[in-house]
Amino acid sequence: MSSLSPAAVGHAGLPGSSTTFREIAQQPDVWREASENVAAQRPAIEAFLTPLLGRSDLRIVLTGAGSSAFVGDIAAPALARLLGRRVEAVATTDIVSNPRECFAEDVPTLLVSFARSGNSPESSASTVLADEILTDVSHLILTCDETGDLSRHHEGRAKSKVVLTPRRSNDEGFAMTSSFTSMLLTSLLILGGPNEAAVTALSAAASRIIEHRQEEINVLAASGFKRIVYIGSGPLTGLARESALKLLELTAGKVVTYYDSALGFRHGPKSVLDETTLALVYVSSDPYTRQYDWDMAAELRKMLSPERVIVISPEPLPADDGRTWLLGELTGLDDAFLAVGYVVIAQLVGLAFSLKLGATPDNPFPSGDVTRVVKGVYIHPLPASTSTASRVI
């Protein structure tokens, strides 16, 4: 990145935020590195995946916990359409608590596991349960830490393939930022095929966001908003969920956040709106879908006033009033790729609100009540297990 705005540089120097800001700002470079890594490993990856994808009865399940689960929420609908087959997102937290429901069909399955460290209790447990319940399961592991439990458990196994994201993407800060986008981008490049044009466009758009939008974001953080709503359709509903979590985490729960789809928001959740609400609407690249995003944005602007609704889009809205945050570099990209660029705005919003509220983004919970890697989860054996004791990780 060539230069940063004074506001962005200011964030980098504030106590308790330097790590988080660095990990947000490094993403354009990390994405290029992630793309190069996938390209270098593509022959081995295709040798693993091609026989699996050649099976018409293969079920693909994308899994992870927290932000890692939301990677699957974004990628699954896009990959289902691209591959012309069922691709489902099921959180590891659901698999571990309800494995027989999640794996009710004993069909050939590719379990794609996302994990920043791979040390969360559910990460390895979900793959163990899949092996125990399913007759034929293979594992694609996308993780940022080669020393993590998940990577070590699957490295070298005949029916497993471990793909690491760039070393820098293994975030040291509390919130997942470059780890989230790197795993999402890597999954799209692996399962969807090479797309150097998308990587170049994303890197350019994110660099411009970081350099030129920070001052506007700081103004929003200083405007007294107490509720933030994120709206997105299709794959962008998963992005809205991740965006809401980023703000909740980085402000240590001091800001009420909510997410929904453009159509779903009207069915009751709209009651969250009040005079302290800011809404951010992610616009789809799909010509049909984005009509609903436009409708929702127009309705919110009437209800809240235009300055309290940020619309993020690769192209102008009909009769646009100039308030849309345009990311023209991303025109024509699939929504799952859009999410990689869009989320940088949510990360910067979370960082700015956190600092304004006096939190420390690098570690919003110094008391340790909420930890970077979940601890204290008991992994209970299935009834058919020969083990008689619960396991704690």
pLDDT tens digits, one per residue of 359-379: 999 986 766 666 656 666 788
pLDDT at 2: 40
Q: Which two tokens stand for residue 97?
A: 């608590």
Neighbours of 12 (CB within 10 A): 15
pLDDT at 317: 82
pLDDT at 388: 35
pLDDT at 12: 56
pLDDT at 125: 95
Q: Which residues of the chain have pLDDT under 70?
A: 1-15, 320-322, 364, 366-376, 384-393
- Structural domains in the chain, CATH included, are 6-198 (3.40.50.10490), 213-356 (3.40.50.10490)
Q: How far apart are CA 337 and CA 169, in angstroms?
A: 18
Neighbours of 341 (CB within 10 A): 27
What are the residues whose beta carbons fall under 8 Å from the beta carbon of 117, sequence distance 6 or more? 143, 144, 145, 148, 170, 373
pLDDT at 389: 40
Q: How far apart are CA 370 and CA 365, in angstroms?
A: 6
Going by the DSSP 8-state scheme, the letter that residue 312 receives in this structure is E
pLDDT at 282: 98
Torsion angles phi and psi, residue 361, rounded to 5: -55, -35
